[in-house]
Amino acid sequence: MEELRKRIEKVLKEKVAPELEMDGGGIELVDFKQGTAYVKFKGACMGCPMAAMTLGNVVEEILKKNVKEVKAVKLS
């Protein structure tokens, strides 16, 4: 499970975070249970009206494409 968590964190750091950092935000993996990655937005992304769309259209798509064990992504 630790290896899976590291793979998810690597994808978040390398493929998701750069996109969010351009707008002053960030993301952190909080937990992974039963195919669902629970994440927390940081910085400017917290409370952003576009956060839900970013979660589904960006974060979830990238994670599902790069880590086959990820079936869903939710805010923690």
Residues 6+ apart with CB under 8 A from 66: 11, 15
Assess contact for 29 and 39: CB atoms under 8 A: yes
Quote the pLDDT of residue 41: 95
Tokens 């494409």 -> residue: 65
Quick one: pLDDT at residue 75?
93
As a whole number, mean pLDDT of residues 15-25 equals 93
**What pLDDT is stored for residue 52 in this prediction?**
87
Domains annotated for the chain, with CATH where assigned, are 2-75 (3.30.300.130)
Residue 46's pLDDT is: 87
Distance of CA 70 to the CA centre of its chain: 11
pTM of the model: 0.92
For 21-66, what is each residue's pLDDT tens digit?
Answer: 998 999 999 999 999 999 999 999 888 888 888 999 999 999 999 9
Quote the pLDDT of residue 47. 83
